[in-house]
Structure 1
């Protein structure tokens, strides 16, 4: 179980960390998907980029020996990405970013479940 937790969480850290930094940097390829979902560009720095990056850091802390922080970060990311999926659905946006949000939700959910199972 521990190996699965480490692998899934490392993937979640990498994916969510990249996504958070991309939002903070207003990375051009993500802008059309955000606009299609009705997300104002001003939200990319805070709350979106900040929360994703903080979640990735929390997952990393969980891997480095603070397991409750990792589980809490995973729970927060599950809530964040559930809201992201909901936002895309409300906007009837089924772009690549909608699919990515679903993937991030699954990764975060797996990290959460494996983190709980390991504690």
Structure 2
């Protein structure tokens, strides 16, 4: 049996990929230093991505650590070739902007 937390992460991941495939675009944020990263309690480094520019912009507008960042549009093909690799870890964000995301496992 899957835990509620696991089911939630799988659902968020599925929704994210459905949206980006439908649009052909993925959004992240960056500044002159590049893309922000965070590290999970397990030592996994993640890079944030959103299915909509408005969601990425909401984080920039509401999370102090990201002030000065700008949204960054990635074509789906670039995202898949550059970021969607087994050695990479994604942080998938849904409508909330508190800076909390889902980090899917490569097993998903």
Structure that is richer in strand per residue: 2
TM beyond 0.5: no
- Which one has a bigger Cα radius of gyration? 1
Greater share of residues in helix: 1
**TM-score, with normalisation over the residues of structure 2?**
0.31
